[in-house]
Chain A
Amino acid sequence: MFGFLKKVGDYTKDAVGAAQYLSQGLAVTFDHLRRRPITVQYPYEKLIPSERYRGRIHYEFDKCIACEVCVRVCPINLPVVDWVMNKATKKKELRNYSIDFGVCIFCGNCVEYCPTNCLSMTEEYELAAFDRHSLNYDNVALGRLPTSVTSDPAVFALRELAYLPKGVMDPHGVPATAPRAGKLPEQVLETLPAAPDQGASS
């Protein structure tokens, strides 16, 4: 008899608990209804890529000395450096340079190690193409500068969360002049006392 009653009691407790959890969950979803969408209406709105965004690589042909460091530091030896030795001047003569962005993983090693800084990262990420071979950029394509999101008149540029003013969650309607939360490294440096000269140890 008591066993049965206990069973009924446990059952009721379970049911009440389930109802509680359900109402908690419903409260959460109901609360979400009144929040603003966090989506970016992509082709019309775009997020401004962050400062160190690793997008398509930009390449300056004239700066390149064909040292092939980029090839050596690349995880898959991707850049193709086409050069010939000019016997007369005893110098390398660069003919072509290409990177296949269908294969590149945008690790940035080549940019990091390039001795003449002829490689750099851009903020371009829209690399969709109908044919994957058209992603193999030669030195002309690599030399093109991308359209900046902020200067494109057809695009409404939005700041990413970390670049918004303090307390602001929604990038819509934030004036471009509003400073981001926190301090930039140089602003932090200004507040620090002048560092004593550490000599040759550092």
Chain B
Amino acid sequence: MDSPPIVTTGLDLQTSFVEALQGLGLSSGTARLLWLPLPMLTVLVAAVVGVLVNVWLERKISAAVQQRIGPEYAGALGILQPLADGLKLVFKEDIIPARADGLLFTLGPVLVLVPVILSWLVVPFGQNLLISNVGVGVFLWISLSSIQPIGLLMSGYASNNKYSLLGGLRAAAQSISYEIPLALAVLAVVMMSNSLSTVDIVNQQAGAGILSWNIWRQPVGFVIFWICALAECERLPFDLPEAEEELVAGYQTEYSGMKFALFYLGSYINLVLSALLVAVLYLGGWSFPVPVEWLAGLLGQSVDAPLVQVITASVGIAMTVLKAYLLVFFAILLRWTVPRVRIDQLLDLGWKFLLPVALVNLLVTAALKLAFPSVFGG
């Protein structure tokens, strides 16, 4: 696109909130300070609720695939089952093995969870519906996600258990190998949108509804990103670090209670996050398959009218979540479809297949960008 698409500000809750508080006689600094925790808490709650939904979906879909019923008695359709699981974990005894390194053992799960939650900083649900529109958005996510293997290795090593150590080493090897094709796939998208900011990446896909989504321009990148995201989340086919048949539970073997819950939470938040980022990078983020502006024009409404703004923002959030959960569904289905790869196959796939393909994809994208700047970003 030669000229950036007309960026509608959409719903800007921060400005409205700050203005309202200033109307009550507060200084703009205080008003902003009062605003700050709100989006953070909202996103934190959203992430945790997302995990609960995710766990429920995982159990229900797994059951359906295996022609079972799945959780049924905790709430309607077993909706409260993840909550019950969580409560159970909260009340379990917190055990640190006698020969384990207490400090690292405790620090490990924290180091796994914190970067994942921090990454939600850059997930946009709308033009202004994100905590912080960081200029280096996706890069921040990539760098944060490379902290995770340190935590995994730390907990695996500190457990003083051979299975844990093996699991931790595998997790580190896997994360490091798949980080590179992942970054290269993201780089191709970034090159097309001339920005690392997640909001800009979505806006660049907003021109013609579903047709302008990146998945049509980056099909190879989409596949690479999805495979790498699954590997980063340690989802099956790539769940070697916790391969229960061989390694008991990998790096989580010695963990119980809340520390185990942190791992559990971390892996599911990571899955939702990865799905959200696939939605943002390749499936047009919050954009509706038909441009909302166009629809509003058809109905003779101004895009800036308050009601339309609220509706478009809600549609945006719903679309982002819907796309993300479609991908989560796909990941769960994939879990019951494909067998686990061996460690050599895993590294082969990462280094010998995904990496060269991602490089070629990057080069082809660059060439296409030079050849057709109107389609592939100028």
Contact = CB atoms under 8 A, between A and B. Distances in A.
Interface of A: 11, 15, 22, 25-26, 28-30, 32-33, 35-39, 41
A22 B338 contact: yes
A29 B63 contact: no
Determine which residue in B61, B63, B64 has the highest number of CB atoms from chain A within 10 A of its CB, and name it: B64
Contacts of B3: none
Nearest to A19: B223
Contacts of B69: 37, 39, 41
B349 to A, nearest CB: 10
- The A contact surface, by secondary structure, is helix
A142 B65 CA distance: 43
Contacts of A39: 67-69
A35 B63 CA distance: 11
A12 B336 CA distance: 26
25 contacts: A11-B353, A22-B337, A22-B338, A25-B337, A26-B334, A26-B337, A28-B337, A29-B65, A29-B333, A29-B337, A30-B333, A32-B66, A33-B61, A33-B64, A33-B65, A35-B67, A36-B67, A37-B63, A37-B64, A37-B67, A37-B69, A39-B67, A39-B68, A39-B69, A41-B69
Contacts, number: 35
A120 B338 CA distance: 48
Nearest to A24: B337
Interface residues of B, number: 14
A113 to B, nearest CB: 42
Interface of B: 61, 63-69, 333-334, 336-338, 353
A38 B68 CA distance: 6
A15 B337 CA distance: 17
Given A22-B337, A26-B333, A32 B353 contact: no
A75 B151 CA distance: 58
Contacts of A26: 333-334, 337
B137 to A, nearest CB: 31
B363 to A, nearest CB: 14
Nearest to B61: A33
